[in-house]
Amino acid sequence: MKELSVTEELFLEYLESYGDIQRAAASAAIPVSTAYAMADRLSDVIVERSKKKLALGSLKAASTIVNLMDADGSTEKGELKMKAAQDVMDRSGVTKHSNIDVKVEASNGLFILPSKADVPSEDE
């Protein structure tokens, strides 16, 4: 990974904090057009940081799920917290793995179609 400039690092920190390119640009004191170009150029870094944030959030989500399981049902917004925790866990890859295996067997790479039937024209 290439070394980030001070401006790029500052912009990424604000972007991670706000989640909004325009607010991050204003806070980093850079033009919005520059910020959009920077975000495009640094998209791999942004994705990697997002994955790390979700991974860290999955620890909190797991704790939330366990705590809600042990709760007596009077937890404020318990169902909403459970749903949010499940979503974080799913998005971070902790749960709901689905694999699809597709096997194609062909004796050769040639597929022969039948000939087209003649379609009579309207003039006939």
| Element containing residue 90 per DSSP (H, E) | helix 78-91
Per residue in 13-65, pLDDT (tens digit) is 999 999 999 999 999 999 999 999 999 999 999 999 988 888 888 888 888 88
- Higher per-residue pLDDT: 12 or 120: 12
This prediction has a pTM of: 0.60
User: In sequence order, what are the residues at sequence separation of 6 or more whose Cβ sits closer than 8 angstroms to the Cβ of residue 47?
Assistant: none
Per-residue pLDDT of 67-107, as tens digits, reads 888 777 777 787 888 888 888 888 777 766 567 777 767 66
Share of the chain above pLDDT 70, in %: 86
